Amino acid sequence: MSDIGRRLKELGVELPAAKTPVANYLGTKRSGDLLFVSARVSQIRGEVGSDLTTGEAYQAARETVIHLLAIIKEDVDLDAIESVEKMVGFVRSSRTFTEQPKVIDGASDLLVEIFGKHGRHARTATGVAQLPFGAAVQLELILRLRERA
Amino acid sequence: MSDIGRRLKELGVELPAAKTPVANYLGTKRSGDLLFVSARVSQIRGEVGSDLTTGEAYQAARETVIHLLAIIKEDVDLDAIESVEKMVGFVRSSRTFTEQPKVIDGASDLLVEIFGKHGRHARTATGVAQLPFGAAVQLELILRLRERA
Amino acid sequence: MSDIGRRLKELGVELPAAKTPVANYLGTKRSGDLLFVSARVSQIRGEVGSDLTTGEAYQAARETVIHLLAIIKEDVDLDAIESVEKMVGFVRSSRTFTEQPKVIDGASDLLVEIFGKHGRHARTATGVAQLPFGAAVQLELILRLRERA
């Protein structure tokens, strides 16, 4: 079992079947040593601040990372990931909801649980009025792959 | 005529005159082998889900790619584009509109029509409440250029 | 005193104490010759187009650059910055506010005042309904560092 595979097991994280995009875009695109990962939305739907609490949305962000890893694993060995460079997190926010960073912490925390210090990343956490499928959270990633991975 | 020039002609796509930014930013910025392309908004205005249908917004996304190519061509030969790495698409969305991916497909589809498999990219399609000039769609790109292009 | 330090002094810009992130993400992440800089929000709060004018929001964008520089300086020598590659600016916008580019010009203008032609960048200026802490503006950057910096 791979190192990251073992770590996921320790954390009790099971990767779901990946839903590969059916349109003219890719789940991931390799660019030199970088891997651009297409945004995924949470399976948890709803507007944060009205339908969902900050804590529920934190879980939605955490779960979205698991779905991103499932997509990434279709294209590259998870052990080939050297570090997480950048994450952008969009939170579907009510007019008055301003705790987007606390929501996206759900994703940042899990990335560090999985990848250790290499999971620490630059980040943007922002609020939007609507997301695909009415999801609560949407995350995109830029990863660095080991050379020649 | 260049390869991409010929392909655009086959597709019946005519590049308009580029509107170069008049402020302290650039239409494109070369960064190593990457080309960061500033976001452009669609000439089609309106809120998707109320003023505009998904199909109309799909066309807006398609047209925005054409305007992006016109800007890019000011700075680099279109034949120097090796691949489309990443696209972010913002859709000006009504409170209940959740089909942002179908809208941004208008851009993804045209990129693949033009660049073939090298036009396939990582992507984020998200919803925002407002865009510059009240446009329906806004797109930004990261491209990879051929070495020494 | 460093070149950029001198330039900041000429411009009358004083860098505040940096607020380093306390969560599982970083203020900046080095990635090869690129530096991904986490988004910062303006200290100026309010919705642009209702609570704040375009001119006030322009100042908010300008001030946010200063806070970004303070964070960057914690991690790298400001003289190690070769150029500003990309900026994304989110403007907390009322339903009818569409002058996001004029707001983000506040950031672009200051970057060029500080870094000269190397401060010119690719850019996205977009509108969102809400931002962390109810801030008016949020900015993220991608910088290029001098080799071996």
Tokens of A121: 């990343």
Q: Which pLDDT tens digit goes with each residue over A71-123? A: 999 999 999 999 999 999 999 999 999 999 999 999 999 999 999 999 999 99
Instruction: Dihedral sign for Cα C140, B73, B106, B133, please.
Output: positive
| CB-CB under 8 Å, A95 with C129 | yes
In the prediction, which pLDDT does A147 show?
81
| CB-CB under 8 Å, B25 with C123 | yes
Local confidence band at C149 (pLDDT 50, 70, 90 cut-offs): low
Cα–Cα distance, A143 to A12 (Å, whole number): 23
In the prediction, which pLDDT does B2 show?
84
Name the burial class of residue A15, with classes exposed (0-12), middle (13-18) and buried (19+) by CB atoms within 10 angstroms of its CB.
middle
Reference B146, options B76, B87, B86, B88; nearest CA is: B76
| CB-CB under 8 Å, C87 with B25 | yes
Tokens of C87: 């900026």
In the prediction, which pLDDT does C20 show?
80
CA closest to A28 among chain B residues? B122
CA A13 to chain centre: 14
Q: What is the mean pLDDT of residues C52-70?
A: 98
Length of chain C: 149
Q: Which pLDDT tens digit goes with each residue over B89-104? A: 999 999 999 999 999 9
Q: Which residue in this structure is represented by tokens 């009415």?
A: A134
Domain ranges of chain B: 3-18+32-145
Q: Which residue in this structure is represented by tokens 């917004």?
A: B57
Q: How much of chain C exceeds pLDDT 70, in percent?
A: 99
Q: What is the mean pLDDT of residues C52-81?
A: 97
Torsion of CA C20, C21, C24, C25, to 10 degrees: -90
In the prediction, which pLDDT does B148 show?
66
CA closest to A126 among chain B residues? B128
Local confidence band at A19 (pLDDT 50, 70, 90 cut-offs): confident
Reference C143, options C110, C118, C125; nearest CA is: C118
Tokens of B93: 């969305």
Inform me whether the pLDDT recorded for A1 exceeds 90. no
In the prediction, which pLDDT does B27 show?
97
Local confidence band at C148 (pLDDT 50, 70, 90 cut-offs): low
Each residue's pLDDT, cut to its tens digit, for chain B (149 residues) gives 789 999 999 999 999 998 888 789 999 999 999 999 999 999 999 999 999 999 999 999 999 999 999 999 999 999 999 999 999 999 999 999 999 999 999 999 999 999 999 999 999 999 999 999 999 999 999 999 998 65
In the prediction, which pLDDT does C2 show?
84
Chains that touch A (3 or more CB pairs under 8 A): B, C
Local confidence band at A149 (pLDDT 50, 70, 90 cut-offs): low
For C46-114, the DSSP string reads S-BTTTB-HHHHHHHHHHHHHHHHHHHHHHS-GGGEEEEEEEEEEEEB-TT---HHHHHHHHHHHHHHH
CA C80 to chain centre: 17
Specify the fold of A3-145. Answer: 60s Ribosomal Protein L30; Chain: A; (3.30.1330)
Name the burial class of residue A14, with classes exposed (0-12), middle (13-18) and buried (19+) by CB atoms within 10 angstroms of its CB.
exposed
Inform me whether the pLDDT recorded for C91 exceeds 60. yes
Strand stretches in A16-121, DSSP E: 28-31, 34-41, 81-92
Tokens of B113: 């029509």
Q: How much of chain C exceeds pLDDT 90, in percent?
A: 93
**Among the partner residues A97, A105, A129, nearest to C24 by beta-carbon distance:** A105
Cα–Cα distance, B14 to B35 (Å, whole number): 22
CA closest to C103 among chain B residues? B132
Cα–Cα distance, A101 to C136 (Å, whole number): 16
Contacts of C32 in chain A (CB under 8 A): 33, 144
Contacts of residues A49-55 at CB distance under 8 Å and 24 or more positions apart, as own/partner, are A49/A93, A49/A94, A49/A95, A49/A96, A49/A97, A49/A99, A50/A94, A50/A97, A51/A136, A52/A136, A54/A99, A54/A102, A54/A103
| CB-CB under 8 Å, A122 with C28 | yes
Question: Which listed CATH number (3.40.50.10860, 3.40.50.10800, 3.30.1330.40, 3.40.50.720) goes with C3-14+37-144?
Answer: 3.30.1330.40
Reference B25, options B140, B149, B115, B127; nearest CA is: B140
State in words which class domain B3-18+32-145 has.
alpha beta
Amino acid at C58: Y
State the pairing for strand pair C81-92/A28-31: unpaired
